[in-house]
């Protein structure tokens, strides 16, 4: 049987500092037939030119026997649009996603493909290792062949509802992706919704313990950006997940795990808002956001969900629900003092 083409979709936006590291990791892959699609979403730091340089070097040099690098230049419409562009050009039998500031261990793709083929599953995923600025090589990834296979429902319960919601580090069948695309109206959580919809099409999936995906804790990443209206997507995505899981039974769509995830998302969103200037937080627009967040706590909070949270989160949820102004002020002062 011939080695299949695997499409790697890499959304790029102002990541010139990291592109070489990302591409070097793809150059080192032991799976030798790749279609790498670099989607430059309107970068202004020279990332687009760097992508073009890599495509020329790869396609004209010795790496050409591994496959091809394609570059798509588009306007800055967000990561969902970039990933969707990549999907529309995907020629591989399988598809995986890699963020431009992350990288892969050399055998990451081959391990996912081998697991998918040998166990006849519809999706195979890797574990990841967090890498921090200045400490990218501080810990060596050890070989680990342990894995679990499970039903789609077991994956939803044991991974998605336990916070394992990322789209990267997983191998998908292009035939099952079909017309499925990322939600362009969300800036947070769109990858979780994509995975939920994909897994609902699956029979069985697999997940390995091997930490073959190197996840860079980028200080300039989405979650580190100041609060804006789109920050509310962190809450909206769990409402959408609840709808997607509605036909899977109350245990998934209305159970304590989903409710706890919503409460955590509310508090993460409220905390980002609290970092704003006090005058801004008390204006009418932000008062509407605060009312919305408190309403979500009232809707999702119950004894079972609160029991899942640690003591710190339980205290935060109660304080914000009863005294939002006090919570915002205390959190702002606490962070300012650091």
pLDDT tops 90 at residue 14 = yes
Q: Which residues contact 174 (CB under 8 A, 6 or more apart)?
A: 7, 90, 92, 93, 94, 95
> What local confidence, expressed as pLDDT, does residue 304 receive?
97
Q: What is the rounded end-to-end Cα distance, in angstroms, of the chain? A: 59
Instruction: Provide the 3-class DSSP secondary structure of residue 150.
Output: strand
CATH at residue 118: 3.90.550.10
> What local confidence, expressed as pLDDT, does residue 106 receive?
97
- Check: CB of residue 49 under 8 Å from CB of residue 21: no
Looking at the structure, tell me whether residues 64 and 174 fall in a common domain: yes
Looking at the structure, tell me whether residues 48 and 159 fall in a common domain: yes
Looking at the structure, tell me whether residues 202 and 280 fall in a common domain: no
Looking at the structure, tell me whether residues 154 and 12 fall in a common domain: yes
Looking at the structure, tell me whether residues 192 and 317 fall in a common domain: no
Q: How many CB atoms lie within 10 A of CB 273?
A: 23
The tokens for 303 are 């004894």
Last residue of a domain, one of 164, 190, 216: 216
| C-alpha–C-alpha distance, residues 103 and 203, integer Å | 29
Residue 202 is part of which domain span? 6-216
Looking at the structure, tell me whether residues 46 and 183 fall in a common domain: yes
Looking at the structure, tell me whether residues 198 and 257 fall in a common domain: no
Last residue of a domain, one of 186, 216, 246: 216
pLDDT digits (tens, 9 = 90+) for 234-291: 999 999 999 999 999 999 999 999 999 999 999 999 999 999 887 677 788 899 999 9
Last residue of a domain, one of 216, 248, 268: 216
Which secondary structure element, helix H or strand E, spans residue 84, and what is its range?
A: helix 79-88
- The answer as to whether 115 is a domain residue is yes
pLDDT digits (tens, 9 = 90+) for 270-286: 999 999 887 677 788 89
Exposed e or buried b per residue across 106-128, where buried means at least 16 C-beta atoms within 10 angstroms of its C-beta: bbbbbbbbebbeeeebbbbbbbb
pLDDT digits (tens, 9 = 90+) for 173-188: 999 999 999 999 999 9
Q: Please give the tally of structural domains in the chain.
A: 2
Looking at the structure, tell me whether residues 154 and 238 fall in a common domain: no
- The answer as to whether 190 is a domain residue is yes
- The mean per-residue pLDDT over the stretch 9-30 comes to 97
Looking at the structure, tell me whether residues 116 and 57 fall in a common domain: yes
The β-bridge relationship of strands 170-173 and 123-131 is antiparallel
- The answer as to whether 221 is a domain residue is no
* Mean pLDDT comparison of 60-64, 75-79, 175-179, highest-scoring range: 175-179
pLDDT digits (tens, 9 = 90+) for 115-160: 999 999 999 999 999 999 988 888 899 989 899 999 999 999 999 9
> What local confidence, expressed as pLDDT, does residue 55 receive?
96
| C-alpha–C-alpha distance, residues 94 and 218, integer Å | 28
Looking at the structure, tell me whether residues 204 and 275 fall in a common domain: no
Looking at the structure, tell me whether residues 116 and 160 fall in a common domain: yes
């Amino acid at each position: 049987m011939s080695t299949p083409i695997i499409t790697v979709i890499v959304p790029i936006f102002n990541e010139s500092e990291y592109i070489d590291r990302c591409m070097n990791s793809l150059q080192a892959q032991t799976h030798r037939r790749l279609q790498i699609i670099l989607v430059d979403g309107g970068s202004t730091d020279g990332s687009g030119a760097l992508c073009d340089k890599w495509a020329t070097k790869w396609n004209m040099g010795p790496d050409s026997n591994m496959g091809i690098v394609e570059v798509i230049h588009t306007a800055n419409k967000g990561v969902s649009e970039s990933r969707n562009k990549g999907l529309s050009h995907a020629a591989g039998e399988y598809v995986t996603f890699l963020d431009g500031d992350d990288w892969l261990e050399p055998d990451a793709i081959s391990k996912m493909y081998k697991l998918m083929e040998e166990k006849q599953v519809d999706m195979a995923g890797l574990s990841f290792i967090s890498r921090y600025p200045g400490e990218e090589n501080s810990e060596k990834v050890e070989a680990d062949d342990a894995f679990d296979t499970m039903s789609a429902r077991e994956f939803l319960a044991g991974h998605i509802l336990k916070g394992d919601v990322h789209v990267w580090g997983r191998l998908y069948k292009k035939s099952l992706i079909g017309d499925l695309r990322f939600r362009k109206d969300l800036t947070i959580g769109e990858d979780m919704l994509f995975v939920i919809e994909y897994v609902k099409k699956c029979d069985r999936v697999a997940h390995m313990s091997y930490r073959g995906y190197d996840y860079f804790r980028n200080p300039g990443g989405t979650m580190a950006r100041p609060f804006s209206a789109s920050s509310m997507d962190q809450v909206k995505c769990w409402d959408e997940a609840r709808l997607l899981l509605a036909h899977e039974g109350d245990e998934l769509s209305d159970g304590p795990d989903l409710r706890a995830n919503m409460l955590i998302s509310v508090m993460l969103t409220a905390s980002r808002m609290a970092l704003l200037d006090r005058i801004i937080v008390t204006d009418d627009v932000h008062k509407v956001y605060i009312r919305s967040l408190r309403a979500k706590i009232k809707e999702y909070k119950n004894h079972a969900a609160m029991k899942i949270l640690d003591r710190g989160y339980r205290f935060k949820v109660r304080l914000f629900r009863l005294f939002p102004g006090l919570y915002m002020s205390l959190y702002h002062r606490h962070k300012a003092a650091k």
